[in-house]
Amino acid sequence: MDNDDALAIKVKTENWQTHARISARALRELVHRIGGEGDRYLVVQRIPDIPDVFVQVWHESGGAGDYRLEYRDSRELFFGTDLDDSGRVADALVGWVRKEDGWDAGIDWEVLDTAREEVPELPDDVREELEEQVRQWVRSGYDTRAELAEAAEDFLVDGDVRPVSRPQARQLVDRLWLERVAEQETWTGTTDPERLTRAFTALDAQGITAREHFTCCRGCGTSEIGGEREGARGFVFFHRQSTEGAASGHGLSLYYGGFDGSSETTTAVGHEVVAALGAAGLSTEWDGSPDKAIDVTPLTWRKRLVG
């Protein structure tokens, strides 16, 4: 029997929806839903995302009626089957997610082709420079593997010279991603980034727009934060450069304010931010001035990857 406990998964559907940490019941509902125009498939990955590990379903209403179910357990192991019952498909997905013994039993699986072209090694100087940057992005912890691969491919572009191909970028990203996944498996308890998310969630519920890893810099964040929601009293955010600083061990600066532009509201928002961070177990440095950023310090940046 299903319960409402969240599963450590992320589900993407054809209609551009993403569902993270949903219950088994919600996953079943998604399976039963697919089939309409623009909503014919879903892809499920575990959290954290592991390269070449996923399960996916395709179904088109009015077609043959079958559900195409495929799963991949590694680069070499890829299987597929056709089922005519959405309930059986949903059972298989939930079993795969929970790693239940025998979840795949009683299904006639076919082995699918896993052939791939060999990816040439990067020159040492290119690889070393790219590795340094990708490690920084991975430590920051917000980007997906696909986003990291795209950024890695473009990082060393110089005019028409593209020293890194997409397969090379993906291969390097996956290797460093798996290193970080192995590292985070040794972490125990609640991490500081999780405490930060808890504080931001509470602030958002109190009418203060709170955004993590928001835009590239303070100027862009300040100009764009107002468009995030209507009816908020104020805001708080940190930008991508701040994230990279925190991931490098330099603490985290938060920028905040009131949407009415007054120093009184900005100061009041600052006090609410400090209180929420304290309630979440984080220490801050702030002199109460509306012109000064709030620094979260000390801070150990162990941001768990999702993907």
Amino acid at 19: H
The CA distance from 205 to 195, in Å, is 16
Look at residue 1 in the predicted model and tell me its pLDDT: 56
By three-state DSSP, how is residue 36 classified? strand
Q: Find the helix or strand (DSSP H, E) in which 289 lies.
A: none
Look at residue 117 in the predicted model and tell me its pLDDT: 85
Residues in the chain: 307
Name the pTM for this structure.
0.91
307 residues of the chain, pLDDT tens digit each: 566 789 999 999 999 999 999 999 999 999 999 999 999 999 999 999 999 999 999 999 876 669 999 999 999 999 999 999 999 999 999 999 999 999 999 999 999 998 888 999 999 999 999 999 999 999 999 999 999 999 999 999 999 999 999 999 999 999 999 999 999 999 999 999 999 999 999 999 999 999 999 999 999 999 999 999 999 999 999 999 999 999 999 999 999 999 999 999 999 999 999 999 999 999 999 999 999 999 999 999 999 999 8
Scan for tokens 């088109």, then name that residue.
60
What digits encode the pLDDT tens for the residues 94-134?
Answer: 999 999 999 999 999 999 998 888 999 999 999 999 999 99
Look at residue 61 in the predicted model and tell me its pLDDT: 87
3-state helix, strand, coil in the chain (%, to 5): 40, 20, 40
Kindly report the three-state secondary structure assignment for every residue of 200-244.
Answer: HHHHHHCCEEEECCCCCCHHHHHHHHHHCCCCCCEEEECCHHHHH
The CA distance from 10 to 44, in Å, is 6
Scan for tokens 């900005």, then name that residue.
266
Look at residue 115 in the predicted model and tell me its pLDDT: 85
* Long-range own/partner contacts, residues 149-155 (CB < 8 A, 24 or more apart): 149/173, 155/130
Strands 208-211 and 41-46: unpaired
Peptide bond into 167 cis (omega under 30): no
Domain boundaries, the chain: 9-111, 124-184, 192-296
Contact by Cβ (8 Å): 59, 34: yes
Look at residue 63 in the predicted model and tell me its pLDDT: 64
